[in-house]
Amino acid sequence: MNRRLFLRNGSLAGLALTTLGATACTTETTNQLPTAANNTAAPEAFELQEATINDLQAKMANGQHTARSLTELYLKRIKAIDQAGPKLNSVIEINPDALTIADALDKERKAGKVRGPLHGIPVLVKDNIDTGDKQQTTAGSLALAGHKAAQDAFIIKRLREAGAVLLGKTNLSEWANFRSTRSTSGWSSRGGQTKNPYILDRTPSGSSAGSGAAVSANLCAVAIGTETDGSIVSPSSCCGLVGIKPTVGLLSRSGIIPISATQDTAGPMTRTVRDAAILLGALTGEDAADAVTKESAGKIQPDYTVFLKADGLKGKRLGVEKRHLEGVSGAIPLFKQAIGLLKAQGATIVEVEIDKPADALGEAEYDVLLYEFKDGVNKYLATANASVKTLADVMAFNTQNKPKAMPFFQQEILEASQKLEGLGSPKYQAALRKSHLGAQKILNDAISTNKLDAIVGITTGPARVIDLINGDAGGGPGSSSPAAMAGYPHITVPMGAVNGLPVGVSFVGGVYTEGPLLTVAYAYEQASKKRIVPEFKPPFVG
């Protein structure tokens, strides 16, 4: 299968957008699509609706709320929205220690100690990130059900140090959407299907489906997702969020179930650029267990909010992907409006061509991911507390438990990865040079030749209807792959909606340019204000 088509069909980026109902935190999946008849009335008004990190800090500072009361409100919201009502099914597991953590942080605040802007803030984390507590880490796979990590992932340690309350784990496309060429985004054998909070038969996209749906539906303050190619920015776009896919190496990947050593990264998923900047700063740091983070030395910013300037578009040169100005996608008119706003705010627009040369790298990228997945998963499982110890064990479990593990789609990608040699293979080395260095050259050349501050494009098309029989379908133009292959930063910001479904605009830059990209993204956000609160609309029933 052509890799570029594979990506646009959503097998990694989740670009073909679909959804159905399921029950979280169980091994049972609901195989019935939701209808208007099986959804309750719209949820009641929520006291913390659209509350930012600064809003919540102000409420704790003036005594209106505590970390415990905020945590209780979000837990009540999860029960009302995720487990009942619309049944978004975005949270795969609640942290049983959440209130205990909140109480300890309240004691610190009472004693005059506030760790920083995340002190007492409830955060949800994608279920492929280790938490050394009572919660499981499963990548949504029944093969890993019951697996509890021995210690926190590095970024979770950083999150705890910052004073965040770990509220729970979010559902995801199983194995971060690297299991089948016919997968449905947002579905996992452990967690079932996550719904899009805007229209309930639409996907939130993937693979960070649960993080996207949960933040959008105000089930938490902010969340963490992970991306190999599109898995932060695509669900952020489809759920009306800000998402940051950082430079590979800015955040540690140790303790995260891997796909690719050269493309994987975690990143923030939030409702505002400011919240994304705050969360990004808290997660950074060099980690001896992840050698790539050594490259971030001297490049990490202690506070990314200093880059947030409302007039930040003045004098900027932005390269617009010209392919995104053509065709019939419903996102194109919104994109043209966004370009007009960028110009009105003082930016100079230059048309560039990134997608076409990047298309030629697609097959090489897929090969890289297949090789690196087998290597990385085998290394992770070898030292994990899971009952499966190799990729071959995972495949065998899925086959033996097919009715529950593979009721809709199979494991073609796992099988293809298992057949490959190690990372010493000449084919792997050639593919890595072609995709990784090739994408860097494409982006570097466009940026340097045109003296660009960022490259701008449509993040992905609007969310599609769930189709568990055929899997994800094409989602129109998208911006994830060049930055993903290069390991460069990518920020998406809401730019409006197509028939009630959000679409994001992407800002891509060179290596470690998160700060300047945040300047551009924040200025656009402040001038446009395109974030829309979801209404949990039922599917259309003819």
In this structure, which amino acid lies at residue 249? G
Contact (CB, 8 A) for 397 and 144: no
Name the residue among 402, 328, 372, 406 with its Cα closest to residue 485.
Answer: 372
Name the residue among 102, 89, 283 with its Cα closest to residue 194.
Answer: 89
Exposed, middle or buried: residue 41 (CB in 10 Å: 0-12, 13-18, 19+)?
exposed
Q: Kindly report the CA angle at 56 between 53 and 61, in degrees rounded to 5? A: 120
Residue 273 C-beta-side C-alpha neighbours within 13 Å: 34
- How many Å apart are CA 194 and CA 171, to the nearest integer? 7
CA distance to 168, 284, 316, 482, 495, per residue, from 456 (Å)? 34, 25, 12, 12, 12
In this structure, which amino acid lies at residue 167? L
Residue 58: CB atoms within 10 Å = 13
CA distance to 12, 125, 247, 309, 312, per residue, from 205 (Å)? 10, 16, 22, 30, 30
| Per-residue tokens: 506 | 């992407």
- How many Å apart are CA 198 and CA 238, to the nearest integer? 9
- How many Å apart are CA 74 and CA 219, to the nearest integer? 6
Chain CA centroid to CA 209, Å? 7
- How many Å apart are CA 345 and CA 95, to the nearest integer? 44
Contact (CB, 8 A) for 306 and 468: no
> Beta strands of 295-420 (E only): which ranges?
317-321, 348-352
CB crowding 224-240: b at 16 or more within 10 Å, else e = bbbbbbbbbbbbbbbbb
CA distance to 118, 153, 433, per residue, from 293 (Å)? 23, 14, 20
Active site residues: 126, 207, 231
CA distance to 112, 260, 340, 521, per residue, from 524 (Å)? 37, 32, 11, 5
Q: Kindly report the CA angle at 209 between 282 and 364, in degrees rounded to 5? A: 90
Radius of gyration of the chain (CA): 21
> What's the distance, Cα to Cα, between the start and end of the chain in Å?
35
- How many Å apart are CA 210 and CA 129, to the nearest integer? 13
